[in-house]
Every structure is written in C-alpha cells, then in structure tokens.
Chains A and B, each alone.
Chain A
Amino acid sequence: MDHPVPLLSVESLGVEFRTRSGTVHALEEISFSVGKGETIGVVGESGSGKSVLFYAVLGILDPAGRITGGRAVFGGLDLVRASPSELEAIRGREAAMIFQNPRVALNPIRKVGHQIEDVLARHTSTPSAALRQRAIEALASVRIPDPERRYDAYPFELSGGLCQRIMIAIALACSPSLLVADEPTTGLDVTTQAAVMDLISELAHKRKMATVLITHDLGLAAEHCDRIVVMHAGHVVETAPTADLFAHPRHPYTARLIATTPHGTSDLRSLAAIPGYLPDLRRGDLPACRFSERCDRFEAACTERPLARLDAGQPHSVACRRPL
C-alpha cells in the first residue's frame, strides 16, 4: 500500500519524563507514519513506550513529560508545535483514542449518555435538543442493545465489554479520521475481546478510518493490521507490512519475538524467552542500540551513533547495524 501523503507522520520524536529518581528517556528518534484509512499495529514489551508515544502525539502527556524534539504532522498541522486549544479541537474530533480497562476509563459518576453528549457538544454544532438523539445513535452504532435505556446507565452498571463499546462510541462520535486503540481488549474476557476487536475493525473499514492498534499480542496485530511498527525501549526498531515482517524479520528483536510466538498468538507480556530486560531508561549512558545488551549479534560497530536506520522511508525499514 502506497500513501503519498500520510495522515499522520511522526519524525524524530523524543519524549522525556522528569522524575525524582532522574530523567526517563522514554522515547528517542521515533519515526513512522500512518496512511489514510490504514490499520497499523504498534507492538513491543511493556514499558517500550507505545502508550507514551500516542499521548505525546495527542498532547495528553503527564505534566512530568516533555517532548524534546521532532514533529508529528497530522492533516497538515504539526501537533508538537500546536497550541493546547488547537490540540483540544483535534482530539476527539479528528483523532480519538480508546484505552484498556474500560470500566475505569469512563467517568464513574456521570451517565454514559451524558459522557457522549459532552463530546458532541464540544466538537459539533448539534443543537442541545438533538444531543440526546445523537448520543443514542452513537450507542446504537457500536451495537449496544437497547440504547435508550443504556443512555441513562452509569459505568458501574455495565459490563467491561459494554463499557468498551461506550468508549468506542465516545471516540467515534465525531467521526475522526484516526483512532488510536491502546490495548482495547486488555481487562476484558476472551469472548468479549474478539467481539470488541471485530467491532473496531468493522467500523474502521466502514468509515475509512485509519486505526492504530497498540498491543502486546503479535497474533492480534497480524490478524488486523496492514503494517506493524515494532518498538523496544523507546525506539522504533522495525516497521514493515505485516506479511513481510513475519516472513522476513530483519531486526534481531523482531525475529526473537516472532520465533518465541509459535503461531503468532502468544502474548508479549509472558515472554520469558527473550533474555534480559529492557534497559533502565533513566540511565545517562543508554547505548545507541538499546537492544545491544540483549543481542547475540552485537559487535563494536553497534555502539556507533547515530544508530543506523536502513531503508528509512521504504515500506520495510530497520534500525540496526547488522540486520538479519
């Protein structure tokens, strides 16, 4: 798939957190893009920076976090330099995000119908008399049974699966062109997981909406995504079309992930097979290649800065001195 003007194009993005125990170098030199209507997967171990990346892009980083440089161009606007009010106007209208553990990701003391109305009232010119009807339509569009009654429900009265559907309804209420789904099935039971993923896929296709699926689950990414971005310790180590990535992984980390994920179904959280841990991101002397301490292909050249990015701009690119 070739997308001459990507919807979102992130270039050399860096993020740091100032904490009492030192500066966390959470993201460094992050580059990737998302085409219009495309579905990409972002995979990597816990702590590799997947969530922080999209918090930074959407301008909802913690106060302790700071973008150190780079660009994130979305629909012609650089979000890194956009004002808070410009970002507010884009979030929820042009680009929306949903999260894991939907039962705690909704306001516990506000009716779910009102939470949808809040977003509609913020971003659309729906007259207030019509808000309720629009909210009920939004509930129906994510196939919530009996939407009139659910409108008045509070999150604690609903199951996790229903809450995630409501999150999706909130995110899609204004028909954004980009949806970031951050582990949307974590915290749900297995049957609900599949239903939620199918719903997201279906709505994305129907609305020609670009989707970023953040997940630990390589199998899930393989099933739903056109392209995959592999992250490790705050770096993007490899990006490739899904089939290509699984057939010819080039980064040793990706290869290890795929090798230890027998049928592309196991979960990266339980990966004991990759030796070592993520390096401590507070270290001042992080190596150029943050995988080098776990890599069996390491050689002296790997310590050279900047880290080589092979085939940058090509469909299949890798950040490694000695790719496979």
Chain B
Amino acid sequence: MLRLIGRRLLAAIPNVIGIVVVTFILTRALPGDPAAFYAGPAATQEAVEQVRAKLGLDQPLWKQFVDYVGDLARGDLGLSISTGQQVLDEILRRLPASLELTLLGLVVACAIALPLGILASTRPGSWIDHACRLVTTLGVSLPIFFTGLLLAYVFYYLLGIAPPPVGRLDSMYSPPPHFTGFYLVDSLVAGDVGLFLAAGKQMILPVLTLAIFVLAPIARMTRAAMLGVLSSDFVRTARASGLSSSTVLYRYAFRNAMLPVVTTMGMVFSFMLGSNVVIEKVFAWPGIGSFAVDALVQSDYAPVQGFVLVMAMLFVAINLMIDILYTAIDPRVSIDD
C-alpha cells in the first residue's frame, strides 16, 4: 500500500510541474493590466511604471517565472495586492470553509443516490426506478447557480424557513476556536451545541444545492453498475448457492458495483470543488472559490495562481485517495500494475 502511494505521488510530479507552468502563463494571459489597476485611474504613466516595477512585472517573462517558482519552493504564494495579505495564509484560512461544504454535499448526495440507485436496479420498471430516472434527468439539466438561487428564493425569501444566505454564521454568532476549521467539528469540540446548530443551519441550502448537482451522476452510475453486476455470472452462482438476498445484494453485488461508483465519486468531487466558485458567490460563503473570483475581477494574479495551484493539489490528492480505495476494494488492481 505504501509503495502504491509513493508510486502515485511520483506519477503526480509531472502534473504538478505542468500546473505550475500553466497557471503562470494563464494569469499572464488574462486581460487587464494589474499595474494600471492598482495605480488608480488618475495615475500618471510614470506612477503606473513604478507600480509595475514594484510588482516585478517589468522583468522579462522568464525572470518572472524563475522568481515565481523560487517563491513556490519556499511555500510563498505571494501577496494579494488587493488585501495585502499572504495568499497562502488566506487560502489556508478559507479552505476549510470550502471543504466542509463540499464534503458534506458529497456525503448527502451519496446518502440519497446510493440507496436510490440500488433500489432502482433491483426493481427495474418500478416507481423507484422512474424516480431515479427523474432525479438523474433533473440533476443534469439544472445548472448549479440556478438550483442555488431557486433554493434560496423559495426557502429563505418565500417561506422564510431557511436562514439568510450570509455565509458560514449569522452575525449573532462568532466562530468557534480554530481547531480543524470545520465549524461543525470545531463547535462540537468547543462543546457549543447552539453554535453547531447555527453553523449547520447555514449549511443546509448550499449543501443541498451541491448534493442535487451531483446526485445525478452518482445515482445513474450506481444503478447502471448494479444492473450490470446483478446480471453477471457470479451473482447467479451466489443465488444458486442459496445465499440470502441481502448477502447477494450487498456482499456480492454492491461491492463489485462500488468499483465504477468510486471512480465516479472522484470525478464528482472534482466537479464540486469547481462549482464552489458559483455556490460561494450565491451563499456569500467565505471559501477559496469566492476569494479567487474576487481576485480575478481585480486582476490580482497571486490569489488566482494560488487558487488554481491548491485546486490542482486537491485533484491530485483525490485521485490518490480514489486509487487507494480502489486497491482496497479490488484485489486485481495492485497486481495488474
């Protein structure tokens, strides 16, 4: 297992190098001149050039790149020009907010999609199969910002049963002492149930939005994988041996069907991280997505670069986790490669 992890990490190195290069080029290719932006509209040409020199943007591109890589190697993602903060600190502070939302969204989606897919596969043509099909169709046809706005409109504005979309906590509360950065965890660690509930309430709508977004692929893949496995020869053998239907369904069929489902979940998790940008805007969530969007609007390179880098690292980490999970489920993998 350790060898597998080591090998996968080695294999990820070219990806990381590629990402570093691409983020650098991408942010330089973006429209807008940050020097002019920060010098202000009334600045003279001279003042703009001064700002440019201070930002290092007057250097040749290769020099800028070498400096950038050197900084990265020291763990320095640069300063945000607009906030004056260290980008790394800001990202580390905001990352738990995004991750908490994403993880919970995935858990909720799985809690609904897996049973739905399994039930639909065992009763083809039944109402639950149709329900599954409806959910998957809706899920793929609703854009995520639309679901988010719709939920906020209906449950906050019209019905008034959801809290206002103002971020992680209502202004009446102050955040729990930092431990993991996940408010749900930290509030419990602090023993503050009221705070836990308050944080949980704020999460309901954004988590639901994310869950609805990814329900569809997980449910569809579960159903398809289960249908395939249930009609396979080894399930017939298991049934012919008189194993109880629950043993056949879970120990034999579902574990095998998990293989493609796990792969799908990895993909889905990556989608979700990407869609955080939208969700965090709709629900005023102080995560890394909204940070990156704000920076982008202001031609603030460093946070955007930092954001893309962190996302890329997360993708690498997710793929590693998927590989490990896969190896744990399927004995054929570790031998094959």
Give A contacts to B, CB under 8 Å: 58, 60, 62-63, 84, 87-93, 96-99, 101, 104-110, 118-119, 122-123, 154, 156-157, 167, 170-171
**Contact, CB under 8 Å: A167 / B234:** no
**A115 to nearest B CB, angstroms?**
8
**Contact, CB under 8 Å: A91 / B332:** no
**Contact, CB under 8 Å: A109 / B256:** yes
**A19 to nearest B CB, angstroms?**
12
**Contact, CB under 8 Å: B242 / A90:** yes
With a CB–CB cut-off of 8 A, which chain B residues contact A93? 242
**Contact, CB under 8 Å: A104 / B234:** yes
- Please judge, given known A-B contacts A91-B242, A156-B332, whether A122 and B237 are in contact too, CB under 8 Å: no
11 contacts between A and B (CB under 8 A): A62-B231, A99-B233, A105-B233, A107-B237, A108-B234, A109-B329, A109-B330, A109-B332, A118-B251, A156-B331, A156-B332
Query: How far apart are the CA atoms of A177 and B68 in the complex, in Å?
Result: 77
Give B contacts to A, CB under 8 Å: 124, 231-234, 236-245, 247, 251-252, 255-256, 329-332, 335
**A153 to nearest B CB, angstroms?**
10
**Contact, CB under 8 Å: B330 / A122:** no
**Contact, CB under 8 Å: A99 / B252:** no
With a CB–CB cut-off of 8 A, which chain B residues contact A96? 240-241
| Given A90-B242, A171-B240: 10 more A-B contacts, CB < 8 Å | A89-B242, A96-B241, A108-B256, A108-B332, A109-B331, A122-B242, A154-B331, A154-B332, A167-B237, A171-B241
**B248 to nearest A CB, angstroms?**
9
With a CB–CB cut-off of 8 A, which chain B residues contact A108? 234, 256, 330, 332
With a CB–CB cut-off of 8 A, which chain A residues contact B236? 60, 99, 105
User: Looking across the interface, which residue of chain B has its beta carbon closest to that of A104?
Assistant: B233
Contact partner, A88, options B245, B329, B330, B332, Cβ 8 Å? B245
**Contact, CB under 8 Å: B124 / A170:** no
With a CB–CB cut-off of 8 A, which chain A residues contact B244? 88, 122
Query: How far apart are the CA atoms of A123 and B243 in the complex, in Å?
Result: 9
With a CB–CB cut-off of 8 A, which chain A residues contact B232? 104
**A139 to nearest B CB, angstroms?**
16
- Please judge, given known A-B contacts A105-B237, A109-B330, whether A92 and B243 are in contact too, CB under 8 Å: yes
